[in-house]
Copies of this chain bind each other. A is one copy, B any other.
Amino acid sequence: MNVLEERICKDGVVKEGNVLKVDSFLNHQMDVNLFNEMGKEYARRFKGKNINKILTIESSGIGIASVAALHFPGAPVVFAKKSQSINLDGDMYTAEVESFTHKNVNHVIVSKKYLTPEDHVLIIDDFLANGCALQGLIQICNQAGATVEGIGIAIEKGFQPGGRMIRNMGYQLESLAIVDSMDAKTGTIKFREQ
């Protein structure tokens, strides 16, 4: 088990409905020393890729991406904004993303100034389940003509379709913990062997 999997076992809480609560260390209270270890691991897994930009999405991706970026010298972090309404300002890339979970449409927005064809992008986010947010971020990279060099996720719900779909499209997707199943009654979590 890696450091994130160990922490999930220690402090994660499994709830009914395949919900995994990790807000004590990942997405409300954030253990930045854990993020630093995760950043080292992303740097190891994406070694040799010429990454010059990290792209994430508000809010819970920002902490992980910011600390991880310290392990990618010279790469700033750009965070996409979420909005229910679309801003028709032509200076923005926008992607319309339908939420599988909430059955509504969200917009993912990045300023054109901060994503260009010269960019070799590592996308970082905290969770991957159905992959809706991730699809929006990839769409925006495509609009900008930027190259997606890889995708680094903290926790992937392996029993939901997002991860398979992204890998099927040929992206290097690295999830530090892939949860294959969870049991709310016993609190047990089964990780995929990596």
Contact = CB atoms under 8 A, between A and B. Distances in A.
Interface of A: 23-25, 28-33, 35-36, 58-59, 62-63, 65-67, 69-70, 76-79, 81, 111, 113-114
A93 to B, nearest CB: 12
B28 A70 contact: no
A76 B32 contact: yes
A66 B36 CA distance: 10
A81 B62 CA distance: 13
A142 to B, nearest CB: 19
Contacts of A35: 66
A70 B114 contact: no
Given A62-B62, A66-B62, A76 B31 contact: yes
A58 B63 CA distance: 10
11 contacts: A28-B78, A28-B81, A29-B77, A29-B111, A31-B76, A32-B66, A36-B70, A59-B59, A59-B79, A66-B66, A67-B70
Contacts of A23: 111, 114
Given A63-B66, A66-B62, A67-B67, A32 B77 contact: yes
A85 B136 CA distance: 26
